[in-house]
Amino acid sequence: MQQFLESFLPAGPVVVFVFSIIPLMIILIYALFAIWLERKVAGHIQDRLGPMQTGGWHGWAQTLADLLKMIQKEDIVPAKADRFLFKMAPFIAFAASYAAFVAIPFSSGYIGSMIDIGVFYIVAITSLLSVSIIMAGWASNNKWSLLGAMRTAAQTVSYEVPTVVTILSVIIVTGTLNLMEVTEMQTGNAFLGFLPSWLIFHSPFMVIAFVLFFIASLAEAHRVPFDLPESESELVGGYQTEYSGMRWGLFMLTEYADMLLLSLVGATLFFGGWNSPFGSFMDGPVWGAFWMLFKGMVLVFVMMWLRWTLPRLRVDQLMNLCWKYLIPLSFVNLVLIALWEMIF
């Protein structure tokens, strides 16, 4: 990809810039689409239609219109807020989730940076998100925001553990932290000749690992049933209570970017990343990008579907679930996968 860009662009910073802007483009376009999709999914699940007017066909331009509206809005900072932190928080939040995309192999021809500790890097950098949320909650000088921030701190710290342990169990199988290599390992049909050699088909424990990972990633992305930091029926808006306009929009964008990020990580680790499900049919760098995003979107859709089905957990139950169920289970699973690896 970089060579391809260099072939028609002057070398140096321009190429690097264009190269690094690609995930941002993907995130933005995806966010526009995903917010629209969320509304549509919500609408149709609830026997409604969702947006129908803006842009003609099924209100496709609704998010765009909302974005324009948000940009025009007054940037309100509460008088008693900590102005600097308050203004910084949304940027840090978005930066954290954007930075994580650098280690995602979007296709066989494109990965932001071929770092060897890819997964580790992603896990580390997404923790920044909780820092920014605590910043937002604290700086707002609002008791509801503070409660939201407190919940987030607790939630993120706890859920990082099962996420990392399940990722670790995948790493045992792959033997590498580089997501590109992880994906390459899953190319071709291995099992029984027709199933793609995706890691989820590797052993029954992998399915459990995936379920654990998915639950933990829901919590990481603050989605229902784990959307406690912003639970609007309890904490008004949680850490977002005092935000409005584009700053709020950035939090929203971060939420959706996070969803995509975790879905893509899930797709890479368990569903063969950019590999085509049909072996070498529909394969190649461009199809790869398609498959990668498609797999990500399917997981995102499931997240949405869950959101419009389930109620929300309480904060102590959330901890309960994490420490009493997910963490022990993921450790047991880790051992089992290791054993499986040793035996077969």
Partner 1 sequence: MVKALSDTYLTFKTIFTGMGITFRHLFTKSVTVQYPVQRDVLPERVRLKLHVNIDDCIGCRLCERACPVECIDIGTIKSTDDVDLGETSTGHKKKLWVDKFDIDMAKCCYCELCVHPCPTDCITMVEEYEYSVYDRNDLIFPFSDMTPEQIEEANRKLEEEAEAKSRKKEEAMLAKKKKAEAQAAGGEADGDKPKDAASGGSTEAGGSAETGGEEAGGEGAGTEKSGTGKSDAEASGDGDADAEKAARRAEREARRAARRAEREAKKKSE
Partner 2 sequence: MTNVKENRPGPEVTLSPPVDAGNGLKTQEMVISMGPQHPSTHGVLRMELTLNGEIVTRAIPHIGYLHRCFEKHSEAMNDYAKVIPYVDRMDYVAAMNNELGYAIAMERLMDIRVNDRVEYIRVIMSELQRIASHLLAVGTFGLDIGAFTPFLYCFIEREKILDIFEKASGARLLYNYIWIGGLMNDVPADFKTDTAAFVKSFRPKIKELNDLLSHNKIFIDRTANVGVLPEKVAINYGVSGPSLRGSGVEWDLRKDDPYSIYDRFEFDVIVGQGEMGTVGDCWDRYIVRVWEMEESLKIIEQALDQMPDEGDVQEAVPKKIRPPAGEIYCRTETPRGELGYYIISDKSTTPFRVKARAPSFVNLSVLPAISIGAMVADMVAIIGSIDIVLGEVDR
Interface residues with partner 1 (CB under 8 A) are: 41, 43-49, 52, 305-306, 308-310, 324-325
| Closest CB to partner 2 among residues 146, 199 | 146
- Closest contact distance (angstroms) between CB of 312 and partner 2 is 3
254 binds, among partner 2, partner 1, none (CB under 5 to 8 A by kind): none
Q: Which residue stretches of 190-239 are H helix? A: 204-220, 232-235
Least distance CB 81 / partner 1 (angstroms): 36
In terms of DSSP H, where are the helices of 271-326? 285-307, 315-320
> Quick one: what does residue 327 bind among partner 1, partner 2, none, with the CB cut-off 5 to 8 Å set by partner type?
none
Which residue number, 83 or 314, has a Cβ lying nearer to partner 1? 314
Residue labelled with tokens 């974005």: 67
Shortest distance, CB of residue 178 to partner 1, whole angstroms?
A: 34
> How distant is the alpha carbon of residue 152 from its chain centre?
16
| Closer residue to partner 2, CB minimum distance, 26 or 147 | 147
Q: Which residue, 53 or 113, is less far from partner 1 as judged by CB? A: 53
Cα atoms found within 13 Å of the Cα of residue 295, Cβ hemisphere only: 26
| Amino acid found at 230 | E
Helix 245-270 with 143-174: angle, nearest 10 deg: 20
Residue 316 contact among partner 1, partner 2, none, beta carbon within 5 to 8 Å by kind: partner 2
CA distance 119 to 122: 5
Residue 60 near which of partner 2, partner 1, none (CB within 5-8 Å, type-dependent): none
Cis-peptide, bond into residue 225, ω within 30° of zero: yes
Instruction: For tokens 């140096």, name the residue.
Output: 12
Rg of the chain over all Cα atoms, to the nearest angstrom: 21
Note whether 160 and 123 are within 8 A (CB): yes
**Nearest CB to partner 1, comparing residues 17 and 325:** 325
The answer to whether 103 and 118 have CB atoms below 8 angstroms apart is: yes
Smaller CB separation from partner 1, 129 or 215: 215
Instruction: Give the footprint of partner 2 on this chain (CB under 8 A).
Output: 42, 45-48, 143-144, 147, 150, 224-225, 227, 231-236, 308-317
Chosen from partner 2, partner 1, none, partner binding at 324 (C-beta under 5 to 8 Å by type): partner 1
